[in-house]
């Protein structure tokens, strides 16, 4: 059997250079140590596409990583409620229990259901852009990337839209704890516990006092499952919280990352303007090129072999999606951003039995957002300074992103003209 590689050059996967641009390190890992053990954590990092895909489909690698997460928690912080809710989340289960939970939890995210959300999603996105129409700058995160996914998921679930801001704040606390983020782990853990308890209380209140008119909604179905015994109280609560958290984190990051991709690749932006039918494929390329979930983990439940290396039971395996999606063995010119790319599917939403439940809804939202945003981006520029990425290797999105629009582009977009490089006339028409 092969031996695990331990290479000093890969030690700092949380340093500023890596956080700014992890892709050269990923390429070196794929070439020199595709199965690499972190000497500090003992976790095994897997970076090649075929290996990552294989593990995602391999039942010998489980999803219950709670014990590994708890190793970081100080003894004086009571995490019992947090553990209870993590145990029953869909993403932490496997086998028949996972299939049973997925049937119920995923009922709102089937392909047919997602198609039925298109009109409402488009309306919410247009409403958001209408409210921003008088602005010549856009805070991409706070004006667009955070509120749109919040409102869409609340609408899908049948929860009040007024609650999106506090739900977003609670989700942020949870993900700051979940990831290897800077800051005192005790403080981050306590904030995560407090926010999860508040989210749990919020879900309980909504389930116990469903207003008239919510019949047939997702939350009403969960209440029915609870009453019938189809799902336990903890399963319903844990997975409603899980859906709310994932919707806020993943889709928000995708909108911000996609905006950066287009602004940093003006030639591809021009292609989208000339061929708006490419927006759907552009969204897939954004997912591949700047995956919001860079690293996900699995735990070996049986002895397995990866690329000639033996992995013992109990070993935590880090699947580097951000590297797999840049693997030159699979993608032609993987470090090039190409809105018309038509190659093997990226792994941004995972694969196998744990393929992201809300991936279809996220893609629907992204297409709707970029249909509205692309016409405004010609000659736009980032004014919030050089992009500063969140200081965690697991999740990739900017900490801040403010852009300034060009007034000509705004005017032409409003009048529905051919956008790029045109100048409006006094009567509202435009010419080259």
Where is average pLDDT lowest: 244-253, 314-323, 406-415?
Answer: 406-415
Q: Residue range 179-199: average pLDDT? A: 82
Question: Model confidence at 12, in pLDDT bands (50, 70, 90)?
Answer: low
For position 124, what pLDDT does the model report? 95
pLDDT attached to residue 280: 94
Confidence of residue 163 (pLDDT cuts 50, 70, 90): confident
DSSP helix/strand/coil, 64: coil
Per-residue model confidence (pLDDT) at position 5: 47
Rounded CA-CA distance 3/386 in Å is 41
pLDDT digits (tens, 9 = 90+) for 55-96: 999 999 999 877 777 777 888 888 888 888 888 888 888 999
Q: Say which residues have a Cβ less than 8 Å from residue 117's Cβ, sequence separation at least 6.
A: 152, 155, 156, 361, 364
Task: Give every CB contact of residue 226 below 8 A, 6+ residues apart in sequence.
Answer: 207, 232, 233, 236
Structural domains in the chain, CATH included, are 8-431 (1.10.630.10)
Residue-wise pLDDT for 344-398, tens only, equals 789 999 998 889 999 999 999 999 999 999 999 988 999 999 999 998 888 999 9
Question: How far apart are alpha carbons 367 and 48 in whole angstroms?
Answer: 29
List pLDDT tens digits, range 23-67.
999 999 999 999 999 887 889 999 999 999 999 999 999 998 777
- Cα–Cα distance, 155 to 46 (Å, whole number): 38
Report the percent of the chain where pLDDT is more than 70.
89
Residue 413 is predicted with a pLDDT of: 53
Which of the two residues, 174 and 153, has the higher pLDDT score? 153
Task: Please identify which residue in the block is written with the tokens 């997912």.
Answer: 287
Distance CA 121, CA 55 (A): 34
Q: What is the pLDDT of residue 368?
A: 96
The confidence score (pLDDT) of residue 331 equals: 95
The total number of residues shown for the chain amounts to 432
Of the candidates 275, 241, 255, the residue with the CA atom closest to the CA atom of residue 159: 241
The mean-pLDDT minimum among 197-206, 265-274, 284-293 falls in 197-206
Output the six-digit token pair for 120: 């409402």
Candidate from 7-11, 136-140, 282-286 with smallest mean pLDDT: 7-11
């Amino acid at each position: 059997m092969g031996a695990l590689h331990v290479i000093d050059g890969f030690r700092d996967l949380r340093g500023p250079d890596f956080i700014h641009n992890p892709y050269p390190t990923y390429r070196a890992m794929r070439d020199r140590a595709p199965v690499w053990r972190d000497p500090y954590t003992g976790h095994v990092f897997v970076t090649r596409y075929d290996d990552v895909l294989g593990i995602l489909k391999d039942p010998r690698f489980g999803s219950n990583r709670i014990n590994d997460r708890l190793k970081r928690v100080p003894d004086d912080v009571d995490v019992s409620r947090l553990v209870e809710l993590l145990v029953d989340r869909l993403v932490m289960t496997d086998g028949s229990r996972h299939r049973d939970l997925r049937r119920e939890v995923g009922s709102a995210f089937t392909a047919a259901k997602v198609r039925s959300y298109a009109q409402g999603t488009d309306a919410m996105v247009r409403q958001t852009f209408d409210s921003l129409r008088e602005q010549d700058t856009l805070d991409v995160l706070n004006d667009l990337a955070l509120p749109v996914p919040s409102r869409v998921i609340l609408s899908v679930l049948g929860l009040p839209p007024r609650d999106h801001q506090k739900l977003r704040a609670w989700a942020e606390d949870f993900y700051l704890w979940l990831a290897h983020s800077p800051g005192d782990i005790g403080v981050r853990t306590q904030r995560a516990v407090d926010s999860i308890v508040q989210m749990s209380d919020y879900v309980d209140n909504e389930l116990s006092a469903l207003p008239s008119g919510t019949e047939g909604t997702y939350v009403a179905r969960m209440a029915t499952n609870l009453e019938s015994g189809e799902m336990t109280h903890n399963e319903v609560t844990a997975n409603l919280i899980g859906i709310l958290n994932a919707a806020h984190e993943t889709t928000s990051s995708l909108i911000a990352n996609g905006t950066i991709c287009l602004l940093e690749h003006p030639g591809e932006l021009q292609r989208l303007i000339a061929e708006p039918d490419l927006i759907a494929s552009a969204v897939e390329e954004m997912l591949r090129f700047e995956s919001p979930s860079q690293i996900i983990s699995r735990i070996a439940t049986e002895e397995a072999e990866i690329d000639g290396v033996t992995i013992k039971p109990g070993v935590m395996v880090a699947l580097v999606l951000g590297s797999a999606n840049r693997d030159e063995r699979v993608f032609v010119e993987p470090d090039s951003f190409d809105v018309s790319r038509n190659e093997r599917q990226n792994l941004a939403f995972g694969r196998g039995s744990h393929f992201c439940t809300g991936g279809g809804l996220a893609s629907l939202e992204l297409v709707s957002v970029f249909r509205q945003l692309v016409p405004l981006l010609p000659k736009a520029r980032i004014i919030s300074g050089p992009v500063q990425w969140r200081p965690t290797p697991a999740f990739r999105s900017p900490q801040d992103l403010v852009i300034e629009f060009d007034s000509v582009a705004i005017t032409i977009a409003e009048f529905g003209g051919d956008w790029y490089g045109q100048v409006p006339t006094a009567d509202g028409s435009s010419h080259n």
